[in-house]
Amino acid sequence: MHYLYLGLAIVAEVIGTTALKAADGFTNLWPSVLVIAGYGAAFFLLSLVLQRIPVGIAYAVWAGLGIVLVAVAGAVIYRQVPDLAALVGMALIVAGVVIMQLFSKTLVH
């Protein structure tokens, strides 16, 4: 269940972060509401995750997958397509998360 919460927390954070650009310095009401709701839900769910998963591991997964999903959302919604160097960097981040998931003895499986 804690990995489901982590996945939902990541999705909520990605929604909040993606809406942050549209909020335009919190001058647009509905994107601003989405930012606040997204981050509120993300941090609530992350607090549940931290009851079972070590904070460093949870945050690494959160950050790694969040970076990739925000980049995808930015490319689709705002046409901000990452260049090759950015894609390689994100691939390395994802590789790090996969290595932790497969080989770390710190994780709760």
Considering the entire predicted model, what is its pTM? Answer: 0.88
Q: Which of 78, 108, 50, 32 is nearest to 9 (CA)?
A: 50
Write the pLDDT tens digit of every residue in 60-109.
899 999 999 999 999 999 999 999 999 999 999 999 988 988 888 876 55
Write the pLDDT tens digit of every residue in 17-30.
999 999 999 999 99
What ranges do the domains of the chain cover?
2-103
Determine the pLDDT at residue 32: 98
d(CA 105, CA 68): 25
Determine the pLDDT at residue 109: 52
